Amino acid sequence: MGKGDRKTKRGKIANKSYGARRPGRIKKRVTVEEKIRLKKKA
């Protein structure tokens, strides 16, 4: 279980891939309050 094992975090890093063990970027969701503020400005 090392760099060659694609199911481990180290293997994901070596393989340059993402998955359950190594999540990619987490997108920040726009909150309801921010949506309301944006609508009032427009």
Residues 6+ apart with CB under 8 A from 15: 6
Q: Which domain holds residue 37?
A: 9-41
Per-residue pLDDT, averaged over 19-35, amounts to: 89
- Indicate whether 4 belongs to any domain: no
Per-residue pLDDT, averaged over 2-30, amounts to: 90
- Indicate whether 35 belongs to any domain: yes
pTM value is 0.54
The answer to whether 8 touches 2, Cβ cutoff 8 Å, is: yes
The answer to whether 3 touches 14, Cβ cutoff 8 Å, is: yes
The answer to whether 6 touches 17, Cβ cutoff 8 Å, is: yes
Counted domains in the chain = 1
For 9, other C-beta atoms within 10 Å of its C-beta total 12
**Residue 35, pLDDT above cutoff 90:** no
